[in-house]
């Protein structure tokens, strides 16, 4: 079995987060570490000296409140300074932080809080307060906002934890063993119920030892960041890349929801590095091309590189950065791998589908069933309270089974699909739906999400969800080489999309993998309907369940549906007989 690993030796790993924080507080004492906007919309920063002092206060006051090493605290909040200080204080004092998505509804929030076995909870404010069930049985709850709950009495203001510690000699535990669990992070759950990943100080800090001489992030860099911290891409990879290297971290004030705000914050911050997903890059590029001034501002000379993950950056968009000498780096990994396993080399021309070679310390191999398996200091301890998942997670010789299918090429690892997404047709032919999904998304800007299905059927079909906001934008014009006449309604998009879908089908080699019908559905995938995960990825199982009536109709049934839908015929099945 072929194994690939980095040619670069893994550097020394900082033993624990307490050591990292103490080191940086001394080295960067008067340098600002974190910025967020005040009520007037002005970015205000905090120095490492004050940041570290707050962390010490929180850790000491937690201890005085009865919090002990090994106990867990769920943090139910969106990104903010207090969340960051609390999370670091918990982890650096021997505890376990459990961040969860700030907009979870009551049922999901309660499920994860109870499953985590946490004794304490920190919430942001009223939004989260309204989602708390009465029977959580927590020792204490702290809240960043001054609020109370009508039926929960043990809620305290977070300001209690920020009070000056009584013992000024108190310090973080710099002797915590590297293999101590410090973070529990729930997976996004694209294929089912989220799993609770248990990560150690070594898992997190080995990433920085591996990346130190690859990304070359320095204290002179500036991060403009919106990625949520309950998710590994933002909460481990991006966040600690900044913290570890002393680079100031500017919190994006729309939390990635408003591209116009992101663009304006870009103008103010002038980031030198940016971590994002392809859909946000596409929206920013469209704004950048509205004027020469906007283009110059966005593609500024100080921008050293952009990083993309979760999905490949479309080649055309990647080329726009590269022709301006701004490298595009793509990475691959999972929450269970803390998260990064591979990076593309920014010095080389990007090849679609390739996610690069292993970072230092990581070994990768391909199993007999083409599943990618990984070994290294970044691999999780286990899933918490999930013996069934743990039984399937590792091979007999200790390699982590990623659930991704891929192949090793001379240019690096090529991702093919999630193992669970691959299905067989009624004739036994195996279909990789993500190939067609990506092709459709690349072909038409007006397509927001696609799910291809067909397990046990004669042929694949596609459920397509349009970008209705783009349809409603009169100022948006597709460039000529995109070959699109800029539809302004769903009906117009149906005519336009027919040609795009045929083009996407033509890019698929196997005839049996081409979609014969597609349903263009006027409906929004969302967190509320569980069709999107908190990291805004499609949850395919939930989509197929929610829109099963549309699927039946595509296979010849006549089932009434509530959403406006247009069926697009791509190939007549009778002609295939």
Tally of domains in the chain: 3
- Residue at which a domain ends, from 418, 438, 468: 418
Q: What is the DSSP letter of 234?
A: I
Q: Are residues 362 and 268 in the same domain?
A: yes
Domain-embedded: residue 39: no
Domain-embedded: residue 187: no
CATH code of the domain covering residue 263? 3.40.50.12780
Q: Are residues 239 and 250 in the same domain?
A: yes
Q: What share of the chain is helix, strand, coil (3-state, %, to 5)?
A: 35, 25, 45
**CB-side neighbour CA atoms (13 Å) of 174:** 9
Inter-residue contact 344 to 329 (CB < 8 Å): yes
CATH code of the domain covering residue 461? 3.30.300.30
Instruction: Please choose, from the candidates 381, 370, 305, the residue with its C-alpha nearest in 3D space to the C-alpha of residue 343.
Output: 305
Domain-embedded: residue 330: yes
Range of the domain at 451: 422-576
Domain-embedded: residue 190: no
Domain-embedded: residue 194: no
Instruction: Report how far apart the first and last C-alpha atoms of the chain are (Å, whole number).
Output: 42
Q: Are residues 11 and 109 in the same domain?
A: no
Q: Are residues 259 and 387 in the same domain?
A: yes
Domain-embedded: residue 163: yes
The residues pairing with 415 across neighbouring beta strands, listed in sequence order, are 406
Q: Are residues 399 and 275 in the same domain?
A: yes
Show the tokens assigned to 369: 């069933």
Beta strands across the sheet bearing 447-453:
447-453, 461-466, 517-522, 564-569
Dihedral of CA 358/275/49/51: which sign? negative
Q: Are residues 431 and 410 in the same domain?
A: no
10 Å Cβ neighbour count for 124? Answer: 21
Inter-residue contact 564 to 509 (CB < 8 Å): no
> What does each of the 577 residues of the chain score in pLDDT, given as a tens digit?
889 999 999 999 999 999 999 999 999 999 999 999 999 999 999 999 999 999 999 999 999 999 999 999 999 999 999 999 999 999 999 999 999 999 999 999 999 999 999 999 999 999 999 999 988 999 999 999 988 877 788 999 999 999 999 999 999 989 999 999 999 999 976 555 679 999 999 999 999 999 998 999 999 999 999 999 999 999 999 999 999 999 999 999 999 999 999 999 999 999 999 999 888 998 899 899 999 999 999 998 899 999 998 677 878 888 899 899 999 999 999 999 999 999 999 888 888 789 999 999 999 999 999 999 999 999 999 999 999 999 999 999 999 999 999 999 999 999 999 999 999 999 999 999 999 998 898 888 788 899 999 999 999 999 999 988 777 766 666 554 455 656 767 778 888 888 889 999 999 988 999 999 999 999 999 888 889 887 778 999 999 999 999 999 999 998 999 988 999 998 754 433 2
- Residue at which a domain ends, from 398, 418, 438: 418
Domain-embedded: residue 185: no
Q: Are residues 171 and 211 in the same domain?
A: no
Could you tell me where the DSSP H helices lie in 385-444? 387-393, 433-443
Backbone dihedral angles phi then psi of residue 12, each to the nearest 5 degrees: -70, 135
Q: Are residues 374 and 250 in the same domain?
A: yes
Question: What does the alpha-carbon distance between residue 251 and residue 77 come to, in Å, rounded to a whole number?
Answer: 14
Q: Are residues 148 and 276 in the same domain?
A: no
Backbone dihedral angles phi then psi of residue 56, each to the nearest 5 degrees: -65, -45
Question: What does the alpha-carbon distance between residue 336 and residue 186 come to, in Å, rounded to a whole number?
Answer: 10
64 burial class (0-12, 13-18, 19+ CB within 10 angstroms)?
middle
Q: Are residues 159 and 102 in the same domain?
A: yes
Question: What does the alpha-carbon distance between residue 462 and residue 465 come to, in Å, rounded to a whole number?
Answer: 10
Domain-embedded: residue 299: yes
Q: Are residues 26 and 166 in the same domain?
A: yes
Question: What does the alpha-carbon distance between residue 439 and residue 508 come to, in Å, rounded to a whole number?
Answer: 8
- Residue at which a domain ends, from 418, 440, 455: 418
Strand stretches in 379-466, DSSP E: 382-383, 400-409, 412-418, 423-424, 430-431, 447-453, 461-466
Alpha carbon 180 to chain centroid distance?
A: 24
Q: Are residues 162 and 229 in the same domain?
A: no
The residue count for the chain: 577
Tell me how many helices (H) and strands (E) the chain has: 20, 28
């Amino acid at each position: 079995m072929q194994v690939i690993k980095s040619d670069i030796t893994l550097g020394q790993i900082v033993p624990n987060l307490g050591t990292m924080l103490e080191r940086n507080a001394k080295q960067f004492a008067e340098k600002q570490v974190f910025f967020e906007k005040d009520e007037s919309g002005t970015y205000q920063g905090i120095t490492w000296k004050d940041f570290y002092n707050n962390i010490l206060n929180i850790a000491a006051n937690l201890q005085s409140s009865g919090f002990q090493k090994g106990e867990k605290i769920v943090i139910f909040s969106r990104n903010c300074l207090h969340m960051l200080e609390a999370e670091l204080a918990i982890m650096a004092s021997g505890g376990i932080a459990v961040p969860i998505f700030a907009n979870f509804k009551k049922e999901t929030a309660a499920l994860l809080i109870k499953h985590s076995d946490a004794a304490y909870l920190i919430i942001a404010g009223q939004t989260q307060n309204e989602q708390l069930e009465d029977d959580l049985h927590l020792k204490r709850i702290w809240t960043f906002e001054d609020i109370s709950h009508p039926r929960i009495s043990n809620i305290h203001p977070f300001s209690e934890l920020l009070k000056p510690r009584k013992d000024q000699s108190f310090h973080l535990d710099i002797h915590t063993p590297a293999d101590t669990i410090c973070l529990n992070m729930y997976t996004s759950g694209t294929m089912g119920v989220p799993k609770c990943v248990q990560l150690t100080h070594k898992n997190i800090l080995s990433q920085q030892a591996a990346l130190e001489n690859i990304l070359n992030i320095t204290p002179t860099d500036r991060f403009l960041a919106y990625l949520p911290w309950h998710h590994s891409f933002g909460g481990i990879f991006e966040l600690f890349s900044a913290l570890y290297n002393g680079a100031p971290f500017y919190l994006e004030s729309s939390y990635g929801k408003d591209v116009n705000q992101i663009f304006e914050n870009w103008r103010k911050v002038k980031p030198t590095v940016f971590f994002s997903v392809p859909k946000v890059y596409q929206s920013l590029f469209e704004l950048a091309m509205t004027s020469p001034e906007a283009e110059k501002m966005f593609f500024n000379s100080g921008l050293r590189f952009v990083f993309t993950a979760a999905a490949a950056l479309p080649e055309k968009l990647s080329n726009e950065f590269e022709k301006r000498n701004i490298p595009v780096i793509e990475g691959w990994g999972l929450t269970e791998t803390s998260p990064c396993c591979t990076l593309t080399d920014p010095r080389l021309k990007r090849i679609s589908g390739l996610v690069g070679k292993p970072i230092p310390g990581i070994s990768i191999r391909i199993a007999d069933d083409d599943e990618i398996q990984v070994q290294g200091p970044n691999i999780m301890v286990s899933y918490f309270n999930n013996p069934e998942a743990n039984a399937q997670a590792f091979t007999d010789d200790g390699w982590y089974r990623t659930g991704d299918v891929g192949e090793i090429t001379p240019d690096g690892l090529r991702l093919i699909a999630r193992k669970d997404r691959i299905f067989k047709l009624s004739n036994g032919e195996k279909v990789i739906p993500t190939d067609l999904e990506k092709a459709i998304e690349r072909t038409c800007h007006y397509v927001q999400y696609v799910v291809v299905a067909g397990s046990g059927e004669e042929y694949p079909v596609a459920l397509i969800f349009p970008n209705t906001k783009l349809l409603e934008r009169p100022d948006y014009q597709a460039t000529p080489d995109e070959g699109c006449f800029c539809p302004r309604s769903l009906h117009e998009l149906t005519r336009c999309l027919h040609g795009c879908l045929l083009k996407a089908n033509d890019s698929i080699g196997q005839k049996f993998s081409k979609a014969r019908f597609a349903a263009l559905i006027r409906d929004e995938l969302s967190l509320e309907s569980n069709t999107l995960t908190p990291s805004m990825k499609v949850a395919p199982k939930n989509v197929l369940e929610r829109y099963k009536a549309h699927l039946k109709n595509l296979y010849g049934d006549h089932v009434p549906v509530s959403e406006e839908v247009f069926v697009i015929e791509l190939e007549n099945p009778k002609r295939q007989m």
